[in-house]
Structure 1
C-alpha cells in the first residue's frame, strides 16, 4: 500500500467528492421536503375522518408512493435515466442523480410526514373543530406545530438515507464520496482512501442525527 499515492488521491479528489455529495443531498432533500410535506398533508387530510376524508384520492396517492418505494434505488436510477437526461441534459454526474434521488426521497419522506401528522392528538383536532376553526387554521396552528418534532426527526432520517443513496449513485458515475470510495478505494485496493471515505460518511451521519435529535427536543412541547 502506497500511503503517498493515497494522500495524493485524497488531495486531488476528496474536496470535490464532498462538494458533489453535498449538492446531491442538498438539492434532493430540499425538493423532497417540500413535496413530501405536501403529499404527507394530502394523505393525512384525505385519510382523516374528521377533516376532508376521501378514500379514493388517498388510495391513489398511497399507491403511487408505495410503487416508488418498492423499487430498489439502483433500479429506480436506471428507470429514470431518460427523465434525468430530459431534465438535466446529463446521463451521469450529480445533476442527473438528483432526479432519482429527489423522487426516492420524496416517497420516503411523505410517509414519514404522514405518520408525524397522524401522531397529533385527535382530541386536539376535535377541540379545534368544535371552536369553529377553519381547516387552514387547524393545519397551521395545531397540526404542523404538534407534528414538528417528529417532522424534524424524519428530516434527519431522510438526509441520512440520502447520504446512503448518494454513495450508491456515485458507484455508477454520479460522483461524490461513493464514487471516490469505489474508484480509488475498492477498485485500486487502496485501504487508506476507503478508510477515509468511510470515516467521513460516519461523521456526517452522526452529526446529522445529533443535530436532528437536538432540534427535535428543542421544539418539543412535551
Structure 2
C-alpha cells in the first residue's frame, strides 16, 4: 500500500469537505435548538421543577432514552421512509439531516438537563422571590447561567455529529465518509481514505478549539 495521493480527485475532495461541513453545521443548529428544548422540558417537569409533571417528564425521558439507545447507522435505516417523505430522496447531504438531528438532539438534551441541574438553586429561588415569571427565569437565569456548560456540551455533540456524517456517507449521504468509502476503500485507493481521515481530524480540532474558546469566554467564574 502506497500513499502517493495519485488517486485523489481534488475537486471531489473539496466538494466532500464542503458537504461534511454543511451537514455538520445545519444538523448542529437543529440539534442545539431541539436539544435545549428537550433539556428544559426534562428539567422543568422533573420533581420540584417549575413545571413539575410526572407524565410529561416520563414521556420526554422515554423518547430521549429510546433514541439515544439506537445505534446511528440503524437509526438512518429506520428513518428512510420519514426522510423520503420529508426530503423526497434518501441520498445526498440534505437526506442525512433528519437522521443526524434526531440522532444527536436526545444526546444533547441530556447534556442540557445536566447543565441546568448544576445551577445553584438559590439563584432560581431569588428570582422567584422577586416575582420573576417562568419565562424570565428560563431566559434570564437558567440559560445564561448554564451557557458555558451548554457550549461545552454542544462541542462534544458536534464532534459526535462529524462521526455520524462519516457513517451516513457510507450509505450515500455524501461528504468525506462517502468519498473515503466509495472512491477510497472500495477501490483500494487508501491514499483517499488517509486524506479524508486527516481532514476529518482537522475539522474535529476546529470545532473543539472554537467550543473551548467560547466556553472559557462565557465562564464568569
TM-score under structure 2 normalisation? 0.95
Secondary structure of 2:177 counterpart:
helix
Structure 2 vs 1, CA of residues 184 and 78 (structure 1 numbering), >3 Å: closer, same or farther?
same
**Alpha-carbon deviation of 1:93?**
1.3
1:53 aligned residue: 52
Could you say which residue in structure 2 is the equivalent of 1:30? 29
Distance 2:176 2:3 in 1: 21
Partner of 2:6: 5
Q: Which residue of 2 aligns with 1:194?
A: 193
Hey, what's the Cα distance between the residues in 1 that align with 2:80 and 2:119?
39
Q: How does 1:20-169 map to 2 (within 5 A)?
A: 20-169=19-168
Q: CA shift at 1:91, angstroms?
A: 1.7
CA–CA separation in structure 1 for the residues paired with 2:109 and 2:5: 46
Distance 2:32 2:80 in 1: 22
Q: Residue 210 of structure 2 aligns with which residue? A: 211
**Alpha-carbon displacement from aligned partner over 1:97-138 (angstroms, at most 9, x marks no partner):** 111111111111111111111111111112222222211111
Q: Distance in 2 between matches of 1:174 and 1:68?
A: 20
RMSD over equivalenced CA pairs, Å: 1.4
1:177 aligns with: 176
- CA displacement, residues 69-100 of structure 1 (integer Å, 9 cap, x when unaligned): 11001110110000000010002111111111
Is the CA contact 2:115–2:149 (under 8 Å) kept in the aligned structure 1? yes
**Using the alignment, how far apart are the partners of 1:137 and 1:12 within structure 2?**
50
Once residues 131 and 93 of structure 1 are traced to their aligned partners in structure 2, the CA distance between those partners, rounded to angstroms, is 52
Shift of 1:160: 0.8
Unaligned runs of 5+ in 1: none
Show structure 2 runs of 5+ residues with no match.
none
Tell me how far 1:50 sits from its aligned partner. Answer: 4.5
Aligned partners of 2:100 and 2:172: how far apart in 1? 14
Q: Separation in 1 of the partners of 2:149 and 2:3?
A: 47
Q: What is the deviation of 1:188? A: 2.0
Q: How many residues align?
A: 220
> TM-score normalised to the size of structure 1?
0.94
> When you count helix as a share of all residues, which structure comes out higher?
1
Range moving further from structure 2, 25-34 or 159-168: 25-34
- Does the 8 Å contact 2:5/2:192 carry over to 1? no
Q: CA deviation at 1:48?
A: 4.8
- What CA distance in whole angstroms lies between the structure 1 residues aligned with 2:140 and 2:98? 33
